[in-house]
Amino acid sequence: IEQLVDKEYVKNPADLFRLSAGILTGLDRMGPKSAQNLVNALEKSKQTTFARFLYALGIREVGEATAANLAAHFGSLEKLFAADIEALKEVPDVGEVVAKHTRNFLDEALNQQ
């Protein structure tokens, strides 16, 4: 990871998914097979449930259960992004604090890419 950041291939977590085996092979101690395995693992990680994806975002105060409730209630990222604080508070296990943390996370420009 340090090499990727130093060479400015990765500036934020989303950049990891833009890496290619060719870029990775150019790193120290990264051969073609290891590079391809990493690219394959990154591709596989894209295939997940909406609830696990929300949990993996690391939204403050949103644990696995809350992420599952958000996913079940909204059903899509588009609907979640459209939700205001009041709509978020309608979700079981989501109060004022979690709703604000979620809305703040969604409002950050970096998280909208």
Residues near 29 by Cβ (< 8 Å), separated by ≥ 6? none
- Fold exhibited by the domain 50-112: DNA polymerase; domain 1 (1.10.150)
Side-chain half-sphere of 113: how many Cα atoms within 13 Å? 10
Nearest to 15 by CA among 31, 25, 4: 4
Residues 33-75 pLDDT 10s: 999 999 999 998 888 999 999 999 999 999 999 999 999 999 9
| Structure token pair of residue 51 | 């609830």
Domain 2-45 part of CATH 1.10.150.20: yes
Residues 82-113 pLDDT 10s: 999 999 999 999 999 999 999 999 999 888 77
Give this prediction's pTM: 0.64
Measured at the CA of 102, the angle between CA 39 and CA 84, to 5 degrees, comes to 125
Q: According to CATH, where is 1.10.150.20 located in the chain?
A: 2-45, 50-112
